[in-house]
Amino acid sequence: MRLIKLEIKRMLRTKSTCIIIILAIILSGMIGLSSALVERSTILNSDGVIEHISGIKAINYKREIEKPLEGLVLPDIFVDVINKYQKVYMEHGGDIPNEVFVQQVSPITEILYLMPYIFQDSDGSVSARIFYELQPQEAATFYDKRAQQQGMYWEYKLEDNNAGLRQVEEREDFVKKPFYFSSYSGWDTAGEYMGICIGLIVLLCGVIAAPVFSGEYANEADDILRTTKYGRRHLAVAKLVSTMGLLGMLYIVCMVIYGGICYSIFGAKGLKTSVQFINLLSPSPYTIGELYVRTIFIGFLITMAMVMFTLFLSTKFQTSIIVMALSIGMLIVPSFLQAVANKKDSFSSIRYILPSSGLGVYNELLQVNYVRIGTWSIWSPYVIGIALVMYIFIFFTASIRAYCRHEVMH
């Protein structure tokens, strides 16, 4: 334990480490704040003039106008929303004046805009025409129609994967219906930005971890350290544990700052909203808050797995730049594989089992992507989580062995 404390103190005394830690904290706060600044809305100001607003002002405005919709979205709510839109349409036709749209339609758009995903218009296509073609009483069948659309979508996505289809149906059984709605303006954007924040934290943690072993190889400090009483395996374990502990705490601090800024701006009520308002056909039985917690947890595993991967590379190379280059390369491989892979080739599964897999887990948790292993079918977030935990232990052990072998070969 004393050796671990000394290693942490040594790292914190390094100027570059302190700069990177401060940079990670600042970037986390800036990304959290930027998720609010990109929000846009349109209002009718006191002079009766249309005005475009953004940032916190737009978020507060949306929260205010959507407050009447807060609560369980019962079938009657869908009927009421369609009736309100069709009343406006009957008065103004397809060319609804901006001021009328802002005052009467904007407050109900979060519910209204779900309709085209579920109901088809008169020619069988999906379009905004459903807003005025849909019979109000038919809108009350929203949840039944959604189940039909889900069935068709799942069959298309999973094809002959019967095991995966059964699991999707079991997940859907846990989805609470009717859905719960509270204005979540900003939280959806913050979820997307969280992947960017986690990616930057992982990158900066890799920069800190890269020279842990290779830096000492380069200046031959390890020659002196290995002659001490605890200069071999004990030292390797101390370096690994201290680096993981320090960078694990850095991740937690960054996420607390990121989440704290989002919470203070967006409020807590939006976290109770069903994730189906983000992905309507998703069978994931989460609220937005639960989705965030799972994303942050997977992000922690990614950070630890990539730190251990970088430390392993650090035991193998004497140049920190090479270690950082390989670490960055691993970080971008899943995105590359996702871009070039199609649903049927092996790349679709490989991108779930890398040390850097899961940066897009916020969206993955809402999907129906399954990895087939023989007769088994495993949901992709489970595959990602299991793989990350395995990598942490594998690279921990491999790093110790590599360091010891380097001692022998030196």
> In the chain, where are the structural domains located?
2-37+186-409, 64-160
Residue 151 bridge partners (DSSP): none
Please give the pLDDT value at position 255.
97
Low-confidence residues of the chain, pLDDT below 70? 121-126, 217-232, 341-348, 406-410
Please tell me the predicted confidence (pLDDT) of residue 409.
45
In this structure, the strands spanning 370-373 and 376-379 are antiparallel
The pLDDT value recorded for residue 293 is 96
> With left for phi above 0 and alpha for psi between -120 and 50, is residue 182 left, alpha or beta?
beta
> So what's the pLDDT on residue 159?
83
User: What pLDDT score was predicted for residue 408?
Assistant: 45
Q: Are 362 and 279 in contact (CB under 8 A)?
A: no
Return the pLDDT at 15.
93
CB 234 within 8 A of CB 3: yes
Two tokens at 281?
Answer: 């056909």
Residue 236's pLDDT is what?
A: 87
With tokens 């730190």, the residue in question is: 307
Q: Where are the alpha helices (DSSP H) in 102-186?
A: 109-112, 115-118, 130-133, 136-139, 142-158, 162-173
- CB 373: neighbour CB atoms within 10 A? 10
Q: Give pLDDT, residue 340.
A: 73
HSE-CB of 39 using CA atoms within 13 angstroms? 24
**Over the stretch 187-217, which tens digit does the pLDDT of each residue have?**
999 999 999 999 999 999 999 999 998 877 6
Return mean pLDDT, the chain.
90
The C-alpha torsion from 176 through 179 and 180 to 184, rounded to 10°, is 120
Preceding omega of 116 cis (within 30 degrees of 0): no
Looking at the DSSP assignment, which residues form a beta bridge with residue 50?
44
Q: Are 288 and 375 in contact (CB under 8 A)?
A: no
pTM: 0.91
Which pLDDT score is estimated for 342? 60
The values of phi and psi at residue 137, to 5°, are -70, -25
**Beta strands 50-54; 71-72: pairing state:** unpaired
pLDDT tens for 376-403 read: 899 999 999 999 999 999 999 999 988 8
